[in-house]
Amino acid sequence: MATAQVSEAEKVYILHGIRDDLRVDGRGCEDYRHMEVETDVVSNTDGSAKVTLGHTAVLVGVKAEIGKPRPMIPDEGYLEFFVDCSANATPEFEGRGGEELGTELSNTLYKVFNNQHSLDLRSLCISPGEHCWVLYVDVLLLQCDGNLYDAISVAIKAALFNTKIPKVHISSDDEGGKEIELSDDPYDCMRLDVENVPCMVTLCKIGHRHVVDVTLQEKACSVASLVISVTHKGVITCTRKVGRGSLDPESICEMTEAGKRVGKALHSPLMKLLQQEESLGKKRQKVGFLG
């Protein structure tokens, strides 16, 4: 659920534990919960990934469509984000209940991912000013148990890694008219370079400590948190304070440092995992939701 109710006694217990770097589930402050990543789970998308982090579960599908480049940047394609906070995650999201959270999440995703630094958007351009690839990145929230940003960012990175965009070539005639022809060979496709795609790390200030990957109970004890996006080189591309409380500048600096450290460490096992999965090719047994 999006929020959990925690009693005073529980709060004290959690706070005391964190003070001693021992969380309710036995983790230290900078430890993630068990994370599972699987790609290519929805066969009619161009790329997809499913990520579970504790009880948080997200599914990301990427669909490539041919669109018109933005007038200001005619030689780049672009990404579109949509976050569907489905009622499956919690009855609170029923009807239009999930829209607010969804908009908040997708706005952040635009800022973090839709720029030349994280993805080579020029490679998505087909013919400048006329045609480009638009990647629709749709995030489906299936279960919320805290730390949505991190789970979503990992899933997006994995899904983009998995994305296969059909190769097109443009035939032009004497009059300058252009026609887009899709390759007839299904194996003939373009892959994206996801090396610079950042991951997001959310740090919660609980008591005096900064905690990574909080559960809902822990979140209830926190006053405010900071979301930062970090590339594999440790470059911070975006920070954002979320939550109702306030933070002093000092702890923001500390949290940024901690986030950088954690984020940097997140990338290499993820890439390793993705490449390993990719190398299995067709032999891989798909698990999806059946496992």
Closest CA to 153 of 218, 58, 220: 58
Q: Binding string to other proteins for residues 81 to 110, with x set by CB under 8 A, is what? A: -x-x-xxxxxx--xxx--------------
Minimum CB separation from other proteins for residue 263, in Å?
27
Minimum CB separation from other proteins for residue 69, in Å?
16
Q: Total residues contacting other proteins (rule CB under 8 A)?
A: 50
Say if strands 78-85 and 131-143 run parallel, antiparallel, or are unpaired.
Answer: parallel
Minimum CB separation from other proteins for residue 269, in Å?
25
Minimum CB separation from other proteins for residue 191, in Å?
14
Q: How far apart are CA 193 and CA 92, in angstroms?
A: 37
Minimum CB separation from other proteins for residue 91, in Å?
5
Which of 166, 195, 196, 251 is in the footprint of other proteins by CB under 8 A?
166
Q: Residue 250 interacts with other proteins (CB under 8 A)?
A: no
For other proteins, the closer CB: 25 or 94: 94
Q: Binding string to other proteins for residues 125 to 154, with x set by CB under 8 A, is what? A: -----------x-x-x-xxxx---------
Residues in the chain: 291
Note whether 68 and 56 are within 8 A (CB).
Answer: no
User: By CB under 8 A, what part of segment 26-65 binds other proteins?
Assistant: 42-46, 48, 55, 57, 59, 61-65
For other proteins, the closer CB: 44 or 246: 44
Which of 186, 246, 250, 285 is in the footprint of other proteins by CB under 8 A?
186
For other proteins, the closer CB: 32 or 81: 81
The piece of 10-18, 169-177, 192-200, 207-215 that touches other proteins (CB under 8 A) is: 169-177
Minimum CB separation from other proteins for residue 173, in Å?
4
Where do contacts with other proteins occur on this chain (CB under 8 A)? 1, 42-46, 48, 55, 57, 59, 61-66, 82, 84, 86-91, 94-96, 136, 138, 140, 142-145, 166, 171, 173-175, 177, 179, 182, 184-187, 288-291
